[in-house]
Amino acid sequence: MSRTLPHRTGALSLGGRTLVMGVVNVTPDSFSDGGLHAAPRDAVAGALRMAAEGADILDIGGESTRPGHVAVAAEDEWARVAPVFDGLARGRAALPPLSIDTWKSTVARRAMAAGASIVNDVWGFQRDPDIASVVAETGAAAILMHNRERADPDLDIVDDILRFLDRSARLAVAAGVPQDRIVLDPGIGFGKTPEQSFQALASLRRLKALGFPVLLGASRKHFIGSLFDPPPPPLERGPGTIAAHVHGALQGADIVRAHDVAAHVQALSVLDAIRRAA
């Protein structure tokens, strides 16, 4: 089913092909790249490279959300990402929509003023009560992710995801965010055992049945490495990442969030071409 995702500066077409969100972590302690883009100049260069490789969205974040991460104050988080937004705004290259990866309303508001169009909240509007209003007031789109403080192996994780994200969507709508600006994310690897991440992947159609577009972010996650002894480090989990994301696309995911943009654009272009030919 074709639809559009309106955001602050335009709209993205969904349904015709699987979109790729490029990950720009402006953090010194990112699990996935070891701080590759911690310096603003490197982050801007990485974002421009991803745009040239075909990224449909660039997701810029200044706080690591890996297990055991150290919390970052809003001012420090903004100090990390502000030069990146500024550097991209000063460039002449055409850019896809920019997303701010934050759960903090103050960071989200400043990012909107600096050029962001989408808020990617890893707590699904359930940690900072003001962030939904920021999204509504600025006309941004929202990506609402399932999360938990810690994994509970005895939990029915799919049921928990559905209940959590249903509540997140209701909070968004109650704050004035139009339903067509909401995207749901099952939060692969967040507050989940590896087995639960696989269960979430296997049940994407149930999430899709809530009626919203779905974003899937399995890139370089721990659950991929858990299948092997010894587990491959994050930078060597590319093939497993693409397998998870291709599965997700086949199950209805509209957007995948990835570190390796070029590889995903190629893989998903082939998949989409096969589906069109069927």
**Centroid of chain to Cα 96:** 15
Q: Report percent pLDDT > 70 for the chain.
A: 95
In the set 17, 80, 220, 257, the catalytic residue is: 257
Q: Is the pLDDT of residue 29 over 60?
A: no
pTM of the full structure: 0.95
- Residue-level pLDDT at 94: 85
- Residue-level pLDDT at 36: 57
Whole-angstrom Cα Rg for the chain: 17
Q: Is the pLDDT of residue 68 over 70?
A: no
**Is 110 an active-site residue?**
no
**Is 205 an active-site residue?**
no
* Cβ atoms within 10 Å of 30's Cβ, excluding its own: 23
In the set 148, 221, 275, 276, the catalytic residue is: 221
Q: What is the DSSP string of 161-206?
A: HHHHHHHHHHHHHHTT--GGGEEEE--TTSS--HHHHHHHHHTHHH
Q: Is the pLDDT of residue 31 over 90?
A: no
Under 8 Å between Cβ of 184 and 214 = yes
- Residue-level pLDDT at 27: 87
- Between CA 228 and CA 52, with CA 267 as vertex, the angle to 5 degrees is 115
pLDDT band at residue 70 using 50, 70 and 90 as cut-offs? confident
What amino acid occupies position 75? E
